Amino acid sequence: TVNISKAATTTNLFYLFFHGGKAAIVPFLTLFFRLVGLNPLEAGLIIAAKTLTGLIWAPLWARCASAYSRHRFVLMFSLFMMMLTYLSLPVLYTQVSRLEDCQPNNLLRNDSGVGVDGIEPWMNKLLHPENKDKVIGQSETTTPASAKPSGKTTIPLPGNIPTGNFSSSENSTLLNETSMIQNFTLFSPSTPPEVTTTEDGDLSVDMDEEEPKNQFNAEIRKFGNKVSESLESIKSSLREDKLLLFLVILAVIVGGEIFCSPVEKVADDSWFDFLNRIDDLERYGQQRFWGSVAFVLVPITVTVAVNNTPCFLPYNIHHFLLHFYVFVVCMCGALMVACCYPVPPPSTGHSSSKICKSLTLAFCDCRGFFFSVTLLLTGMVYASYHNFLFWRIQDLGGSELIMGFCVSLSAFGEIPMLIFSNLLVKRLGHSWMVSLCLLILAVRLLGYAFIPMAWAIAPVELTHGFTHTALWFAVLSHEDFNSAGSLDRSLRTVLSSLYFGIGFASGSIFSGFIYYVYGSTQLFWGLSAVIGIWMILFSLVQRCLPKKEKIRYIKLLRNSDSDNSDEDDDDWLEMALKEH
């Protein structure tokens, strides 16, 4: 027996944790690229390469998981590789980070108004390294490099330290002075040499007895110094050579995407096949609601934490890296849930691909072609504000808290559209609904270009429900695309590849180039003009195209009847349909 309630709960928890991890880092990934010093074109190229890699490798991994019935193994392996990939980025940042990465206003005053006096002691040392603790009472002396101690080395003591027989308190004073002397660079052995008192009251250090014992330690230190020098050389190269840094990040992202790209597809296919085997497909799609909940809650939580912490945390950790740590926590939860993720039983039959037929529906029909091009263009536009809207907010002086509100409000705006999209499509029709969504998208982009205050951008994100959710519903529910069974899933795959794959990748490169050359204002108002022109063209073409005649079953029967003997007998199906 199958416990469908337990399987549904497991799936919902997985989507909650997985999308919570994505919400913590994916919308803010280009901000990390800007933090390490990449320009918009380089950031767009990395995102495009990541998208195209996932577009190619995700179906291959999903195909292998279905062929060998290893859905759960592929899912867990991909989650682990995703954690490893994104954790390597903070490690890379620690090698190239500098104090200048934080603006002076952020270092000296946070949002709560705490000034320099409120900075933690470790931050004060970081900002003012010249105020490090010094040995009080000691004069700075310089020892020539050629002066190498040998035999007995005598160091005169200050005159205020008594010699001869000492009490316990006096012994502690002498030990303190001795430990201070041992901190000088004059002594390199890890084991302190023997310190004795001469007749004149001076300290005598025996170097000859300790040198043979520390020869091995000296070799270890020599090797460690070479390793440190090599690491410092790599750090210096990454800091100074931005092309090398770009290539390293590109290799990390693309290499990781090869292995972590199939997570969503394998999870979605497994749940669909599982429900299909038990004939309960009505539950399919409900799990996405928990993904939306994660995108509402996690971004605002992370950005509040980042906005209310100093720019550099202990151990020189930049507070932006909190995004990565929250991502790891959520992915650990998803990895534990994936251990019992519902998977379908081994397939007994051979599933034929419907990709060719789906491509025919998408591009060989005039209406379908215009719907497909609409998704391609909107995918390019989606990439532009997904990648560079937060750069625009930074340019306007906005904080990460505003960015977190933008992500949360856009996800929250999708929820009403999940309920009312069907009603709006019935009232307006598919074509006019798409035109309305395009008009709202053009106005949204215009707002990005000319709104002068960063906080005023956040309410605009509520229109995401129209420009994304309602648009997709209007396209997928169109009669030309509304197929049943495996053809419907294949068609959705083709359309998703246009929007999230080809459109998103090309849009990342294009928008990165425009932002780099002309700036964010020209980027967004230019895209607004393109979408406005396409909306007019789309509306005119859809209005001029002739409506397709609905095929009646009676006509199919008449065409298949060769003798055409009895028309009254042919009308039985039509009469039955009218009665019901």
Cβ atoms within 10 Å, residue 467: 27
**Region 10-27: what's the mean pLDDT?**
96
More confident residue, 191 or 385: 385
Higher pLDDT residue, 36 or 564?
36
- Greater confidence (563 vs 377) lies with 377
Predicted confidence (pLDDT) per residue in 270-285, tens digit: 998 898 888 888 888 8
Region 220-231: mean pLDDT is 75
**Helix crossing, 4-25 with 263-277: angle to 10°?**
160
Least confident window among 348-362, 491-505, 562-576: 562-576
Top pLDDT among 451 and 577 is at 451
CA angle 39, 44, 47 (to 5 degrees): 130
Element (H, E) at 521: helix 520-544
Min mean pLDDT across 51-65, 164-178, 303-317, 534-548 is at 164-178
Two tokens, residue 500? 């999230």
Length of the chain measured in residues: 580
Is the pLDDT higher at 478 or at 21?
21
DSSP 147: -
Integer angstrom CA distances of residue 181 from 147, 165, 299: 17, 21, 53
Q: Cα separations (Å) of 505 from 53, 55, 71, 303, 405? A: 10, 10, 27, 27, 25
* Rounded Cα distance, 85 and 251, in Å: 10
Predicted confidence at residue 196, as pLDDT, reads 59
480 or 411: which leads in pLDDT: 411
> In this predicted structure, what is the pLDDT of residue 134?
41
DSSP assignment string, 472-519: HHHHHTSTTT---THHHHHHHHHHHIIIIIIIHHHHHHHHHHHHHHT-
**Greater model confidence, 243 or 141:** 243
User: Under a CB-based contact definition with an 8 Å cutoff, are residues 379 and 507 in contact?
Assistant: yes
Which CATH fold topology does 1-127+241-345 show? Growth Hormone; Chain: A; (1.20.1250)
| pLDDT of the residue at 140 | 43
pLDDT at 123: 39
Per-residue pLDDT band for 180 (boundaries 50, 70, 90) equals very low
More confident residue, 309 or 80: 80
Helices (H), 69-143: 71-96, 104-108, 121-127
Phi and psi at 312, nearest 5°, equal: -115, 125
Cα 26 from Cα 505, distance rounded (Å): 15
CA-atom Rg of the chain in angstroms: 34
Rounded Cα–Cα distance for residues 439 and 462 (Å)? 15
Give the chain's mean pLDDT. Answer: 78
Asked whether the predicted pLDDT for residue 102 surpasses 80, the reply is: no
Q: Which residues contact 549 (CB under 8 A, 6 or more apart)?
A: none
Tokens at residue 417, please?
A: 């559209």
User: Lowest mean pLDDT: which of 224-228, 314-318, 351-355?
Assistant: 351-355
| pLDDT at site 420 | 86
Min mean pLDDT across 55-64, 238-247, 319-328, 475-484 is at 475-484
Burial of residue 543 (CB within 10 Å: 0-12, 13-18, 19+) is exposed
Place of tokens 């029709």: 429
**Residue ranges of the chain that CATH labels 1.20.1250.20:** 355-548
Structure tokens at 404: 């977190």
pLDDT tens-digit series, residues 532-573: 999 999 999 988 887 766 554 444 444 544 444 444 444 544
Cα–Cα dist 366/372, whole Å: 10
Structure tokens at 292: 């939306």
Identify the H or E element spanning 152.
strand 152-155
Q: pLDDT band for position 39 (50/70/90)?
A: very high
Percent share of the chain, pLDDT over 70: 71
Q: Which of 174-178, 258-262, 490-494 has the highest mean pLDDT?
A: 258-262
> How confident is the model over 397-443, as pLDDT tens digits?
999 999 999 999 999 999 888 888 889 998 988 899 999 999 999 99
- Predicted pLDDT at 487: 61
* 60: pLDDT strictly greater than 90: yes
Tell me: the pLDDT tens digits for 104-125?
A: 444 333 333 333 333 334 334 4
**251: pLDDT confidence band, cut at 50, 70 and 90?**
very high
Name the maximum alpha-carbon separation found in the chain: 136
pLDDT score recorded for residue 228: 74
pLDDT of residue 194: 55
Residue 43 has what pLDDT? 96
Report the pLDDT averaged over residues 289-299. 94
Superfamily (CATH H level) for 355-548: MFS general substrate transporter like domains (1.20.1250.20)
User: What is the reported pLDDT for 552?
Assistant: 47
